[in-house]
Amino acid sequence: MPDAVRGHLDGRVGDFSGVMGLFLCPASRLAELITELIKVKPAKPIALSLVIDTGLGGVPKAVSIVESRSELLALRMVEMPAPSDVDEVWLERVSEFVPEDVIRVVEPRRGGAEWLDGVRRVIEHGSWPKLRCGGLSQENFPSVEEVGDFLTVVSGGGVAFKATAGLHRAVRHTDEQGFTHHGFLNLLVATARSLSGRDVREALASTDAEALTAEAKALSDQAAHAVRGVFASYGSCSLSEPVTDLEGLGLL
């Protein structure tokens, strides 16, 4: 936790502070975060995404704790995994437990047509769906086809989404363990294509960094704004790798 807080605070005032988003913290480690922030005394509250790992019933208490420490934390987002069926009653409780001015992010369990039905229900209830793009095993990495189907549903639903896990690098690549990772630049270009009715899967599968960069740079201000409204956030374990990649591609 000390390293995470220090890295976030340093990134918030560095040359590329504009790319810094929210600090993600599991609800189970909230007390640890608050203890660390009391020590470092941030100049302004940390913008927080609270990751619920204690079950839906733990949301009210966690939200209350954050709101009681407003000098240290500003709650901007609450994200949580959905039950396998993503039922209506559960989604209504999410809406009740999370304050109206806080973004709700819900991750339906991926797999089969039921997964996309769950994504649609999340959208219908006013939450952002979350797309998990990687993890510790091959099953955690969705296929190009699955990501493409997700983007079709989301771009047609007029809502933002958040991506998470496995997106440290800008362009699609295979790591030393043999896992092929999606690139966040691929996802950005694919989102742009989904909004304009073009080939999404080709963009997701591409390893051509120059072509992806050129396509991103060619987006009009209006198109770029529309993409940002859909692909609105992603989580990365690294603060430096995304910036290094974007600098190398001439995008920062």
pLDDT digits (tens, 9 = 90+) for 116-156: 999 999 999 999 999 999 888 888 899 999 999 999 999 88
Instruction: With beta carbons less than 8 A apart as the criterion, state whether 48 and 77 touch.
Output: yes
Residue 70 lies in a domain: no
Residue 117 lies in a domain: no
User: Using 50, 70 and 90 to split pLDDT, how confident is the model at 237?
Assistant: confident
pLDDT, greater one: 70 or 84:
70
pLDDT at res. 212:
98
For residue 112, pLDDT beyond 80? no
Average pLDDT over residues 10-31: 91
Each residue of 181-206: pLDDT tens digit? 999 999 999 999 999 999 999 999 99
> Which helix (DSSP H) or strand (DSSP E) does residue 49 occupy?
strand 46-51
Residue 58 lies in a domain: no
Average pLDDT over residues 93-106: 95
Question: Cα–Cα distances in Å, from 132 out to 30, 71, 181, 211, 228?
Answer: 23, 32, 11, 25, 18
- CA nearest to 249, candidates 165, 166, 158, 188: 188
pLDDT at res. 15:
85
Q: How many domains does the chain have?
A: 1
Dihedral (CA of 221, 227, 230, 232) sign: negative
pLDDT at res. 44:
94
Token pair of 139, please?
A: 């099953």
Residue 55 lies in a domain: no
Q: Which domain holds residue 175?
A: 133-251
Tell me the HSE value of 57 on the side-chain side, using a 13 A CA sphere: 0
Residue 220 lies in a domain: yes
Tell me the HSE value of 243 on the side-chain side, using a 13 A CA sphere: 13
Residue carrying the six token digits 């590329």: 16
